[in-house]
Amino acid sequence: MSTEAILKLLRGLDQVGRWLGVIAMLLMLLMIGAMIWEVVARRGFNAPTMWANTVSYMFNGTLFLLGAAFTLRANQHVRIDFASSRLPLRVQHAINAAFYLGIFLPALALTANFAIGKAIKAYERGTLESMSAWEPLIWPFLTGIAIGLASFALQVLIEAVRHLIGLWRPDAVPGPSGREQTAA
C-alpha cells in the first residue's frame, strides 16, 4: 500500500473524530439548555428540577470525551514541547510515535476496554445512577464515555501512523506542531 493510500485512509478515519466532535458540540448546546432551564425553574418559579444537575455532569463528561479525538486531530491538546520542537523533524516524529504506541495507546485501549465492559454490564443489569435523587439509567452515560475513549484510542493510532510515515517522509505529513516543516 502506498504512502498516499495510507494517508487517504487516515483522512477517512479522521471523520469518526470529526463527527463525534459535532455530536459533542450539540451536547454542549443541550447542556446549556438544561442549565438555563434549571436557573429559570429555580429562580423564576421556585421549582428546582431533580434532573438538571445529573444531566449536566453526564453531558459534560460525555462531550469532553467525544471531543477528545477531534481535539487531538486538530492538534489542540496541551503539549509541553519547548524542548522537542527544537529537535530535527524526524526526531520529533520518532518521539511522538514512540510515546503514542508505547505508552498512550496501550493505556487508552485498556481504559476504553474497561469502559466498554462497564457500559455493557450497566445496560444488562439496568443499573441506575445512585448519586442522584432522580436515579436515571446510567448506561447511556457510560456508553458515551466508552465511545469517546474508543474513538480517542483510534485517533491516537492514526496519529502514531502519521508520525511513523513522518520518519521516512517528513514532507508527507504535518510536523508534530501541526505545521508543515522542512526535514532536518
Rg (CA), the chain: 20
For residue 93, the surrounding DSSP H or E stretch is helix 89-99
Question: In whole angstroms, how far apart are CA 166 and each of 59, 71, 133, 153, 184?
Answer: 37, 20, 52, 20, 12
* Cβ contact 161:6 at 8 Å: yes
Is pTM, for the whole model, over 0.85?
yes
Q: Is the pLDDT of residue 179 over 90?
A: no
d(CA 92, CA 51) in angstroms, rounded, equals 47
**Percentage above 70 pLDDT, the chain:** 95
pLDDT digits over 20-63, tens only?
999 999 999 999 999 999 999 999 999 999 999 999 999 999 99
Q: Look at residue 178 in the predicted model and tell me its pLDDT.
A: 54
